């Protein structure tokens, strides 16, 4: 029998959900510092946690407590995918280690700053494929820069590039002691000049850093809205506004950086919705196809392709089924429902250009 200490505030996820609006940045810094100190104690005892996530970190009387450590190792049991060292997904021979815990801490520090589960709307398969390629959550607007730098250093892809737990603890301690950072000061309605200066500074900082633009593109790709959702275009524009960047800046960057599935996906969204360009559903289809084709194609792009084939006058429900089926195989339940709905219809159509696309036509018939 395993006996665990009682935690009056439940898990970290539960605590953040119930208390986030009351937390100041200093409260968040202290919570992050407690978490790092708890992991430091484990590492000093030569214990690796291997499964740090917000559902097995607990809060008791405003103090962080750890549970379920030192027992995970295989890929299938390596923990909650969002928090797992991406190196684990590139080869089964990679053994989770102290730097794996550092990666998990980075994700948890982001979660403490955002009150959101990382990549909540994404499938496990999507994350296993894309996190090793560099997919990370986007920093929350007005996050203190020093705090942001700590967790982005923690979640770097190469373990040797991540700090040790001693360095993480030290940097958080300094942050608490200083009690102020470049972007921490709240903006009141009366401080219009300060707001303009801050906005100008953030725009210059983003424009000067391709890494920031890349992060914003990843954020757009993970917005939980379908292309047929009438609110999606506005949600994308609001997201860009919150990150002090224009749609034209993102569109121009995407045109010059077509080297990642999420770049193709977001370009498809911009053409389909008419963001920073005229609506062009043919171009949208082409970019969605680049994002969705291949063995590691994006499920959301495949779903979008199915939707376009079915609904945007392409008159090719067989091709729609093809894409819905590929998306469904990655766990997209809505795609699976659409596939079987069309499959059971008695009025399906196919274009001549699609016939060569299908290896086996039997999948399209009940």
Calculate the CA dihedral of residues 94, 100, 104, 105 and round it to 10 degrees: -170
Closest CA to 33 of 194, 197, 146, 188: 146
d(CA 139, CA 321): 37
3-state class (DSSP) for residue 353: helix
Residues 119 and 204 in one domain: no
Whose tokens are 């084709």? That residue is: 293
- Domain containing residue 346: CATH number: 1.25.40.10
Number of domains in the chain: 2
Asked if residue 4 belongs to a domain, the reply is: no
Asked if residue 194 belongs to a domain, the reply is: no
Residues 148 and 57 in one domain: yes
Question: Which residues are CB-neighbours of 243 under 8 A, at least 6 positions away?
Answer: 138, 141, 206, 216, 219
Asked if residue 190 belongs to a domain, the reply is: no
What is the CB neighbour count within 10 angstroms for residue 122? 21
The region of weakest confidence among 156-160, 202-206, 215-219, 303-307 is: 202-206
Beta carbons of 112 and 16 less than 8 angstroms apart: yes
**Where in the chain does DSSP place strands (E)?**
57-60, 63-66
DSSP string across 272-327: HHTSSS---HHHHHHHHHHHH-STT--HHHHHHHHHHHHHSS---HHHHHHHHHHH
Residue 354 is part of which domain span? 200-364
Q: What are phi and psi of 63, to 5 degrees?
A: -120, 135
Closest CA to 102 of 46, 148, 169: 169
Asked if residue 183 belongs to a domain, the reply is: no
Asked if residue 132 belongs to a domain, the reply is: yes
Q: Quick check: pTM over 0.75? A: no
Residues 131 and 235 in one domain: no
Asked if residue 278 belongs to a domain, the reply is: yes
- What burial letters (b/e) apply to 338-347, b meaning 16+ CB within 10 Å? bbeebbeeee
For the chain, give the percent of residues with pLDDT over 70.
Answer: 78
d(CA 136, CA 123): 14
- Within the chain, how many helices (H) and strands (E) appear? 15, 2
The β-bridge partners of 65 are: 58
Closest CA to 284 of 308, 262, 268: 268
Residues 135 and 101 in one domain: yes
Asked if residue 76 belongs to a domain, the reply is: yes
Beta carbons of 67 and 20 less than 8 angstroms apart: no
Residues 353 and 217 in one domain: yes
- Domain containing residue 131: CATH number: 1.10.510.10
- Predicted local confidence at residue 155, as pLDDT: 95
d(CA 151, CA 110): 7
Residues 359 and 297 in one domain: yes
d(CA 194, CA 365): 63
Residues 169 and 29 in one domain: yes
Residues 139 and 47 in one domain: yes
d(CA 284, CA 38): 48
Q: Are strands 57-60 and 63-66 parallel, antiparallel or unpaired?
A: antiparallel
Residues 27 and 143 in one domain: yes
- Predicted local confidence at residue 212, as pLDDT: 72
For the chain, give the percent of residues with pLDDT over 90.
Answer: 39
Among residues 178, 213, 233, the one where a domain terminates is 178
User: Quick one: tokens of 160?
Assistant: 């040797």
Model pLDDT for residues 291-348, shown as the tens digit of each residue: 998 766 888 999 999 999 888 866 678 888 888 988 888 888 888 998 888 888 766 5
Residues 28 and 126 in one domain: yes
Residues 291 and 150 in one domain: no
Dmax (CA) for the chain in angstroms is: 70
Model pLDDT for residues 103-162, shown as the tens digit of each residue: 999 999 999 999 999 998 888 888 998 899 889 998 888 899 899 999 999 999 999 999
Burial environment of residue 75 by CB neighbours within 10 A (0 to 12, 13 to 18, 19 or more) = middle
- Predicted local confidence at residue 321, as pLDDT: 87
Closest CA to 276 of 250, 248, 242, 241: 248
Model pLDDT for residues 251-260, shown as the tens digit of each residue: 999 998 888 8
Beta carbons of 292 and 312 less than 8 angstroms apart: no
Residues 167 and 290 in one domain: no
Asked if residue 69 belongs to a domain, the reply is: yes
3-state class (DSSP) for residue 65: strand
């Amino acid at each position: 029998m395993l006996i665990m200490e009682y935690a009056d505030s439940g898990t970290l996820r539960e605590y953040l959900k119930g208390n986030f609006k009351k937390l100041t940045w200093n409260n968040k810094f202290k919570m992050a510092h407690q978490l790092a100190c708890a992991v430091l104690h484990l590492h000093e005892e030569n214990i690796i946690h291997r499964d740090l996530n917000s559902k097995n970190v607990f809060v008791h009387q405003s103090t962080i407590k750890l549970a379920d450590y030192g027992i995970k190792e295989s890929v299938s049991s390596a923990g909650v995918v969002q928090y797992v060292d991406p190196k684990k997904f590139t080869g089964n021979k990679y053994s989770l280690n102290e730097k794996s815990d550092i990666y998990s801490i980075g994700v948890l520090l982001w979660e403490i700053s955002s009150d959101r589960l990382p990549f909540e709307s994404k499938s496990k398969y999507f994350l296993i494929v894309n996190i090793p390629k560099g997919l990370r959550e986007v920093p929350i607007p007005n996050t203190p820069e020093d705090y942001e730098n700590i967790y982005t250093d923690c979640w770097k892809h190469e373990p040797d590039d991540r700090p040790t737990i001693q360095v993480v603890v030290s940097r958080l301690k300094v942050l608490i002691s200083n009690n102020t950072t470049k972007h921490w000061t709240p903006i009141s309605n009366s401080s219009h000049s300060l707001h303009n200066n801050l906005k100008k500074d953030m725009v210059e900082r983003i424009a000067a850093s391709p890494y920031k633009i890349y992060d914003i593109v990843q954020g757009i790709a993970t917005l939980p809205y379908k292309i047929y959702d009438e609110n999606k275009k506005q949600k994308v524009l609001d997201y860009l506004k919150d990150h002090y960047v224009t749609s034209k800046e993102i569109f121009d960057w995407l045109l010059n950086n077509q080297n990642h599935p999420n770049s193709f996906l977001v370009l498809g969204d911009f053409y389909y919705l008419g963001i920073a360009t005229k609506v062009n559903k043919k171009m949208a289809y082409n970019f969605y196809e680049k994002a969705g084709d291949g063995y590691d194609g994006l499920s959301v792009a495949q779903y979008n392709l199915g939707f376009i084939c079915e609904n945007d006058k392409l008159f090719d429900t067989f091709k729609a089924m093809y894409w819905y089926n590929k998306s469904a195989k990655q766990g997209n339940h809505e795609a699976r429902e659409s596939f079987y709905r069309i499959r059971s219809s008695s009025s399906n159509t196919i274009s001549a250009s699609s016939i060569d696309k299908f290896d086996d036509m039997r999948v399209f018939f009940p």
